[in-house]
Amino acid sequence: MSTPVLSTTALTKRYGKHTALAEATLDIPAGRIVGLVGPNGAGKSTLLALASGLIRPTSGRIEVLGRTPAADSAQLADVGFVAQDTPVYAGLSVADHLSLGEHLNPTWDDAFARDRIARLGLDPAKKAGRLSGGQKAQLALTIAAAKRPRLLIFDEPVAALDPLARRAFLQNLMEFVAELEVSVILSSHLIGDVERVCDHLIVLAESRVQVAGDIEDLLAAHHRLVGPRGTLDALPDGVKVIAADHTDRQTTLIVHDTTGDHLELPGADSVGLEDMVLTYLHRAEGLTAPTLQETRA
Amino acid sequence: MIWLTWRQMRAQTLWTAGLVVAAAVYLLFLAGDIREAYRINITDCTSACEDAAHTLAEQFGSGLLLIGLLLLAAPALIGAFWAAPLITRELETGTHRLVWNQSVTRARWLAVKLALVGGVSVLFTGALSLLLTWAAGPFDKVVDSRFEPLTFAARDLAPFGYALLAFTLGVVIGVLTRKTLVAMAVTLVVFVMFQLVMANVLRPQFAEPVTETIAWDDANTVGQIDSFGIGPQGAGVQGYTIPGAWVVSEYIVVHKADGTDVTAEDIEACDTVGGTPDDCMVDLGATFDVTYQPADRYWDFQWIEFGIAAVLSALLAGVAFWRIPRGLN
């Protein structure tokens, strides 16, 4: 488990003049459930398509489980990918999709696949084109999982689902992550979902990685500092100001303690995950974060 | 991968196979009719046997031409309806993102699709070609004009090459345009243009044609003069045919023994002397130069035509193999 599931250096993808992903450097250890969050168009799908090998980088380096994505069938077998909108063959039945998985994957776990389809209550004879959005997502998830990969990648798996189906899907995901011992990377623009299932976070905005790390560590390293104006000007080395708001009398800062030493900062208060993420997203867009003030009790 | 390709193409393959079988049955009956007519008019001929070829051509010519046209159209249809959507449909519905993430590399995925679907396309077209060649055998023997553009492209090897080319063309145009309907239309247009260019521009240049001087006396033993007259270019022969050969000359100027052109005055002088025009031309020592591709070049030309299509197909397949594994974004 020493090989990082995803390791990139200055990973960049450009489409003509448009830069979809710029200089992303990441190192994600194995065994995590990684949440990739950011607004639409931030580059989440680009990063995941690069990780699955669907597209190739313009520059920079990417390795998934220590190998170039989609390098050969062994590498492909190690990574399960469920694309956005969970594409399935509309003309093929659910059973056909399981046969597809069985024929195309030497590591296919047929018992697992059939068991899941039965538990989900999907009719094997039904054409995939006639399934609901939630059922299609479940079918795609089953195909990706039954090949028994070491890494599962989901691009916005729940975006098209209604709240009930979303909850069921995430519930299911959690169940078999525990069952299969896989690492997971999933993208979402719903921070609540990420908070519920993930233990590692990548914040992506404006094509750049804003911050990445284990959620626990990130929360422990981000603080809200409130003090009379002028008292917070000098911060220890390694403490970065993510956002600052000044009123006549006082200053509010969101800071990231990058020293790893858990510095004791005067007047430090904890920051919630959602506030932290939003602060980064607003910073990326060059806006003042409205989240500087305590929004939640 | 073989299973998936078959599962995806099953319906189209089966109904196309149905059409091929229907065409084959029709060709079998036609072959019987042609052989029957050949036996009556030629083998067992008792009177007016010179007209037998004409009778046979009259009876089966247009029918065989029509089938030949269908055989020319078959590769175009395969290119548009099988090849163009083969990959484009996946890209349009997004299913490439499902199938490309199974434990099969894209190169293998593409190789199996090209080999199976392309193979079946060539097989179907080729089978019809060989069947038509066999069915029309006695007819072709009598009419003896295998270089006729519509006959040449619909017999023996040529259709194999065309099927291969139309298929790879459809696939590559699909990969490049990434839109099924556009790819289908472009494939049809490009392929038909290629057929026209092949027949009109390339095929005449496969080999340097032979030019032969023919004395008037031999004119109708070597070949057949369709018409002779005085035109703006002087006295000339039009529509000269040599059995099995491909005559390139269209209007052939006729010379006298001294090398000068036969003029209107020469003809008029003949008329005053009397006798048949042929006797007169022979007396004048008339000769003409005919430029043609000899009949024994037929198989060379068939192989060259097949070879050109096969090489182009290989190049197109190379484009697909270069493009697909690199991702399509």
pLDDT (tens digit per residue) in A155-179: 988 877 788 888 888 888 888 788 7
- CB-CB neighbors (< 8 A) of B328 in chain A: 55
> How confident is the model over B207-222, as a mean pLDDT?
82
CB contact under 8 A, A87 and B101: no
A contacts of B106 (beta carbons < 8 Å): 70
Contact criterion met (CB < 8 Å) for B7 and A100: yes
Residue A152's pLDDT is what?
92
Containing structural domain, residue A231: 221-284
Minimum mean pLDDT range among A137-146, B138-147, B159-168: B138-147
Residue B234, pLDDT > 60, answer yes
* Average pLDDT rounded to a whole number, residues B233-261: 80
Across the A:B interface, residue pairs with CB atoms under 8 Å apart total 84
**Residue A293, pLDDT score:** 55
Residue A1 lies in a domain: no
CB distance A54–B97 less than 8 Å? yes
In the predicted model, is pLDDT for residue B81 greater than 80? yes
Given B3, B326, B329, which is nearest A15 (Cβ)? B329
In one-letter notation, the amino acid at residue A173 is L
Distance from CA of A89 to the nearest CA of B (A): 6
Measured between CA atoms, the residue of chain A closest to residue B96 is: A87
Subunit contact A106:B103, Cβ cutoff 8 A: yes
C-alpha B200/C-alpha B235 separation (Å) is 27
Is some CB atom of chain B closer than 8 A to the CB atom of A98? no
Q: Touching check for B12 and chain A: CB below 8 Å?
A: no
Cα distance from A4 to chain B (closest Cα, Å)?
20
* pLDDT tens profile B1-23: 888 888 888 888 999 999 999 99
pLDDT tier, A297 (very low <50, low <70, confident <90, very high otherwise): very low
Residue B10 touches chain A, beta carbons under 8 Å: no
- List, for residues B87-143, the tens digit of each pLDDT value: 999 999 989 989 999 999 999 999 999 999 999 999 999 999 999 999 988 888 888
Same domain for A67 and A138, yes or no, is yes
Which distant-in-sequence residues (6+ apart) come within 8 Å of B282 by Cβ?
B216, B217
Sorting pLDDT into bands at 50, 70 and 90, what band is A79? very high
Contact across the interface for A92 and B7, Cβ inside 8 Å: yes
For position A288, what pLDDT does the model report? 61
Establish if A112 belongs to a structural domain: yes
Q: What's the pLDDT at A290?
A: 55
**Does the residue A213 lie in any domain?**
no
Q: What is the mean pLDDT of residues B224-235?
A: 76
Structure tokens belonging to residue B225: 């003069």
B positions 88-117 inside 8 Å of A (CB): 93-95, 97-106, 108
Q: Which residue of A has its CA nearest to B91?
A: A87
Say yes or no to pLDDT of A1 above 60: no
Q: Rounded to the nearest 5°, which phi and psi values hold at A86?
A: 35, 70
Q: Is A105 on the interface with B (CB under 8 A)?
A: yes
Residues of chain B contacting A74 with CB distance shorter than 8 Å: 103
| Two structure tokens written together for B258 | 């001294």
Instruction: Say if residue A228 is in the same domain as residue A201.
Output: no
Instruction: Report which secondary-structure segment, H or E, holds B290.
Output: strand B287-293
Angle, alpha carbons B306-B296-B204 (nearest 5°): 55
Which percentage of chain B shows pLDDT scores above 90? 41
The type of residue at B206 is: F
Q: What is the ipTM of this complex?
A: 0.85
CATH code (residue A52): 3.40.50.300
Determine the Cα–Cα distance for residues B167 and B160; give it in Å rounded to an integer. Answer: 11
The answer on A144 and A34 residing in a single domain is yes
* DSSP-derived secondary structure letter, B191: H
> How far is the CA of A96 from the CAs of A100, A121, A128, A180, B110, in angstroms?
6, 16, 9, 24, 20
| % pLDDT > 70, chain B | 98
pLDDT by residue (tens digit) across A18-74?
999 999 999 999 888 999 998 888 889 999 999 999 999 999 999 999 999 988 889
Q: Which of residues 308-327 of B touch A (CB under 8 A)?
A: 326-327
- Asked if pLDDT for residue B329 goes beyond 60, the answer is no
Q: Check residue A289 and give its pLDDT.
A: 54
pLDDT at B317: 94
End-to-end alpha-carbon separation of chain B, Å? 24
Q: Contact A64/A79 with Cβ under 8 angstroms? A: yes
Residues A187 and A86 in one domain: yes
Where is pLDDT greater, at A232 or B25?
A: B25
The reply to whether A81 touches chain B by the CB within 8 Å rule is yes
Assess contact for A269 and A224: CB atoms under 8 A: yes
- The residue-averaged pLDDT of A254-281 equals 84
Q: Is residue A245 part of a domain?
A: yes
Alpha carbons B252 and A30: distance in angstroms, whole number: 84
Rounded to 5°, the CA angle A172-A178-A180 comes to: 95
- Per the CB < 8 Å rule, is A70 touching B100? yes
**Residue A23 backbone zone (phi > 0: left; psi -120 to 50: alpha; other: beta):** left
Partner-chain contact B101 A107, CB within 8 Å: no
Within 13 Å and on the Cβ side, how many CA atoms surround A251? 16
Q: Is A189 left (phi over 0), alpha (psi -120 to 50) or beta?
A: alpha
- A134 and A247 in a single domain? The answer is no
pLDDT for A102-111, tens place per residue? 999 999 999 9
Compare B237 and A46 and report the one with higher pLDDT.
A46
B59, two tokens: 């009876």
Give the span between the Cα atoms of B237 and B220, in whole angstroms.
12
pLDDT classification of B225: cutoffs 50, 70, 90 = confident
Of B1, B8, B98, which to mutate for an interface test with A (greatest number of A Cβ within 10 Å)? B98
Whether A250 maps to a domain, the answer reads: yes
Residue ending a domain, among A160, A175, A205, is A205
Helices then strands, each counted (H, E), chain B: 14, 6
A26 lies within 8 A of chain B by CB? no
CA distance A86 to A166: 13
**Contact A99/B at CB under 8 A:** yes
Secondary structure, 3-state, chain A: CCCCCEEEEEEEEEECCEEEEEEEEEEECCCCEEEEECCCCCCHHHHHHHHHCCCCCCEEEEEECCECCCCCHHHHHHEEEECCCCCCCCCCEHHHHHHHHHHHCCCCCHHHHHHHHHHHCCCCCCEHHHCCHHHHHHHHHHHHHHCCCCEEEECCCCCCCCHHHHHHHHHHHHHHHHHHCCEEEEEECCHHHHHHHCCEEEEEECCEEEEEEEHHHHHHHEEEEEEECCCCCCCCCCEEEEEEEECCCEEEEEEEECCCCCCCCCCEEECCHHHHHHHHHHHHCCCCCCCCCCCCC
Query: How many domains, chain A?
Result: 2
Chain A environment of B97 (Cβ under 8 Å):
54, 81, 83, 87
Interface of A with B in 119-158 (CB under 8 A): 140, 143-144, 147
Residues from chain A contacting residue B94 (CB–CB below 8 Å): 83, 85, 87
Res B195: pLDDT: 93
Q: What pLDDT sits at residue B79? A: 92
Taking CB atoms and an 8 Å cutoff, what residues of chain B touch A147?
A: 102-103
Residues A31, A185: Cα–Cα separation, whole Å: 10
Mean pLDDT of B37-62: 78
Across the interface, whether the CB atoms of B95 and A147 are under 8 A apart is answered no
Whether the predicted pLDDT of A241 surpasses 70: yes
Identify whether the C-beta of residue B246 lies closer than 8 Å to the C-beta of residue B293: yes
B97 → closest Cβ in A80, A87, A91: A87
Pick from B4, B108, B329: CB nearest A100: B4
> In the block, which residue shows the tokens 């196309």?
B16
Q: Kindly report the average pLDDT of chain A as a whole number.
A: 87
B98 and A92 in contact by Cβ < 8 A? no
Helix (H, G, I), strand (E, B) or coil at B102: coil
Chain A 201-240, CB below 8 Å of chain B: which residues? none
pLDDT bin (cut points 50, 70, 90) of residue B78 is: very high
Q: Is residue A214 part of a domain?
A: no
Quote the pLDDT of residue B324.
Answer: 84
Largest CA distance in chain B: 91
Q: Does B17 touch chain A (CB under 8 A)?
A: no
Distance in angstroms (rounded) separating the CA atoms of residues A153 and A65:
12
Residue B96 C-alpha, separation from nearest chain A C-alpha, in angstroms: 8
B136 closest CA partner among B242, B30, B45: B30
pLDDT(A251) > 50: yes
What is the dihedral sign for C-alpha B28, B31, B36, B37? positive
B42 close to B49: Cβ distance less than 8 angstroms: yes
pLDDT band at B80 (very low <50, low <70, confident <90, very high): very high
Q: Are residues A177 and A265 in the same domain?
A: no
Q: Does A166 touch chain B (CB under 8 A)?
A: no
Write down the pLDDT at residue A292.
56
Mean per-residue pLDDT, A195-214? 91
Cβ-based neighbour number of residue B141 at 10 Å: 14
For A90, the closest of B93, B99, B104 (CB atoms) is B93
How many Cβ atoms sit within 10 Å of the Cβ of residue B104?
Answer: 20
Question: Does residue A294 belong to any structural domain of this protein?
Answer: no
Q: Clarify whether residues A144 and A271 are in a common domain.
A: no
Mean pLDDT of A127-133: 89
Question: Which residues of B, range 208-227, sit inside 8 Å of A by Cβ?
Answer: none
On the CB side of A241, CA atoms within 13 Å amount to 16
Laid out side by side, the sheet with A18-28 consists of A18-28, A6-15, A59-64
Is B168 a residue whose pLDDT tops 70?
A: yes
pLDDT band at B305 (very low <50, low <70, confident <90, very high): very high
Q: How many CB atoms lie within 10 A of CB A247?
A: 9
Does the pLDDT of residue A295 top 70, yes or no?
no
Instruction: Report the chain B residue with the minimal C-alpha distance to residue A128.
Output: B95
Dist. CA B137–CA B156, nearest whole Å: 11
Give the end of a domain, one of A162, A177, A205: A205
A50 & A115 share domain? yes
A276 close to A216: Cβ distance less than 8 angstroms: no
Q: Which amino acid is at A221?
A: A
The last residue of a domain, from among A205, A238, A256: A205
This prediction has a pTM of 0.86
